[in-house]
Structure 1
Amino acid sequence: MASKEIRQRIEGRIAEGEWGSGTALPSEGALAEEYGVARATVHKALQELARDGLIVTRPGKRAVVTRAHLPRQVRAEGGEGHPGTLEVLGRHLDRALAEGTLRVDALCVTSESLVNALETQLIGVRARRDRLREFHVRLLLCDFAATPTYPRLVVDPADRRPLDRLRRIGANQVDALTNAARTLWTYQLVDSEPVVEVRTVPFPPMAKLYVLNQDEVLEGWYELIEREVEVGGHNQRLLDVAGLSSRLFARRRHPVLDNHIDSQYVDAAQEFFDSWWGQAEPYGVSLERQRK
């Protein structure tokens, strides 16, 4: 069995979720014994995976997964030949982080896509001991205070449980992102204390928007689909807003021309976000109001 086949098998197991981001792989000796090959063959396969940024290797240490591939069913949601939100976000976040500064302004329903993609990238930052000058994320989320809205049950549009479900998902994502940022500070991988700010609007956006380092814009659209989701302990048919499968389109500021259409587009997107950010509710205020 050649190193190429070993690499494909390891890559496949990572893609299937057997070894997630941050997981240490079995030792080279253990993998060599499992696959019935020489240790040198496994070593070569791991070096190739490391060059692709999928794992990090260090002398005398087990390799660590830094960028888990998306599960096949998630990759397929982007459509044939069209990568989904997580894959595209991961690629562009990786480039932004390579600049040493990460500023993200995001308008989205729950930020689940952003947080999942960013957590994977930050695992790589920690594993490689990269250092950032700044880490600042502003999230503009939906608090689902306005009704009627989506998602909604097909048989009972007034049932608020689907809205409560997404509000919980949003809250969990905020907690996860905050913890990831604190970890950067704990490991002294950022020059100034990381900042995560969150505000809310009372309606779900029909499009998602990400502005990276005030230099690049990614945007896509939420699709309204009917699907089965667990609500209140039972599977229910929902008219749901689907964002994980959204195709993202990118515009990057022209390196020289401020009046270039792409530069103007980035500026307009930033102004759009800032206008809504200035009118949004501090995170938690409208959520508390909704519970009363």
Structure 2
Amino acid sequence: MSQESTPSGTPHPPAAHRRHTPDHIAEVLRQRVHSGELPRNSRLPTQRALVEEFGVNRTVIRQALAELERKGYLVSRGRGAPATVTAPALNDAPRPAGVEVADRIGLAFQAEHVSIDAFSLTTETLSSALAAPLIAIAAGELAPRSITVRVLLPSPDARLAFPRLLTDPDDPRPLARLKELTRTFSVSLRHQLLSLAERQLVPEVRVEIRAVAITPLQKLYVLNGTEVLTGYYRVVPRVVEYEQQQMEIFDVLGLSSKIFRSSSDKDSRDEQETAFVEESRLWFEALWSTIAQPVTLG
């Protein structure tokens, strides 16, 4: 059998020299996603083409594709249409939090048991990212058996480094505005999640919010214990409105901060990345179980 070439011209090994298991085929396709050979939003080859390439029957191909879909690499279009790649290549440039966090949380919700640990200035990005999977659950498109969300926020009464007025660091209004925003987003997030259990859409839902007396300089999300999303808060001057007055403050723009993704699952690039995920998880757990205090939202 002659070699087949990738779109970039790199020949694929002949099928005769491969192990013809669903796991191996899934791994080959996963590597093509990671390398960028199969970029996000591209169509996979047809099942018939994959049968010919790998020299296996259609059942084996379907099992491999089902594994990739379960892991969030593909989404099936049904009726025999080629699946679409949903995961980015590992060498993709980092994307804004408002985009990347939403995408990755959407994929995390395909798991049977969903867990999210979040550390941030407010819950604005997280609340926005949860919108799509919550709609999918209500529509019956997703059906997790449990959802556990733990959120760490700065203490509402702490004297934070930001936000603050450019001209008067002691003016209490920027922190008062932040406190109101944080409470609004947090109450909404908790209500949306707990309503899934109240409507009997998800059997078990747990939401807990705690606070620590520190200024977050970065945001961190640990998804299902195997993936970490992190990004830095960049302090910028900007004008905001509070109590019908405009204020020029030092603030951060969380939704536009670039997010870096690390995994300890099968798509981990090396041992260092796996270790980073574990250390991030332990860092969050240490704060959560020691100096963090429960927040009462009313």
> 1:173 maps to what in 2?
185
Cα offset for 1:161?
Answer: 1.1
TM alignment of 1:140-179, pairs within 5 A: 140-147=152-159, 149-179=161-191
Cα offset for 1:158?
Answer: 0.6
TM alignment of 1:63-212, pairs within 5 A: 83-147=95-159, 149-192=161-204, 194-212=205-223
Cα offset for 1:90?
Answer: 1.1
Residue type at the aligned position of 2:219? K
> 1: distance between equivalents of 2:95 and 2:140?
26
> 2:81 maps to what in 1?
none
RMSD: 2.5
SS in 1 for 2:189: helix
> 2: distance between equivalents of 1:169 and 1:249?
26
Render the CA deviation track for 1:44-86: whole Å, top value 9, x for unaligned: xxxxxxxx99xxxxxxxxxxxxxxxxxxxxxxxxxxx763212
SS in 2 for 1:98: coil
SS in 2 for 1:88: helix
> 2:67 maps to what in 1?
none
Q: Is the 8 A contact 2:233 2:257 kept in 1?
A: yes
Render the CA deviation track for 1:139-191: whole Å, top value 9, x for unaligned: 00012533362100112211111111111111111111111112211332212
Cα offset for 1:93?
Answer: 0.7
Q: Is the 8 A contact 1:119 1:177 kept in 2?
A: no
- Name structure 2 gaps, 5 residues minimum: 1-73, 76-92
Residue type at the aligned position of 2:288? W
Residue type at the aligned position of 1:196? V
Larger Rg: 2
> 2:4 maps to what in 1?
none
Matched, 1:235 2:246: yes
Q: Is the 8 A contact 2:165 2:249 kept in 1?
A: yes
SS in 1 for 2:256: coil
> 1:273 maps to what in 2?
284
> 1: distance between equivalents of 2:110 and 2:160?
43
> 2: distance between equivalents of 1:211 and 1:148?
24
- Deviation above 4 Å: which 4+ runs of structure 1? none
> 1: distance between equivalents of 2:122 and 2:238?
18
SS in 2 for 1:244: helix
Q: Is the 8 A contact 2:218 2:233 kept in 1?
A: yes
Cα offset for 1:230?
Answer: 0.4
Q: Aligned pairs, how many?
A: 207
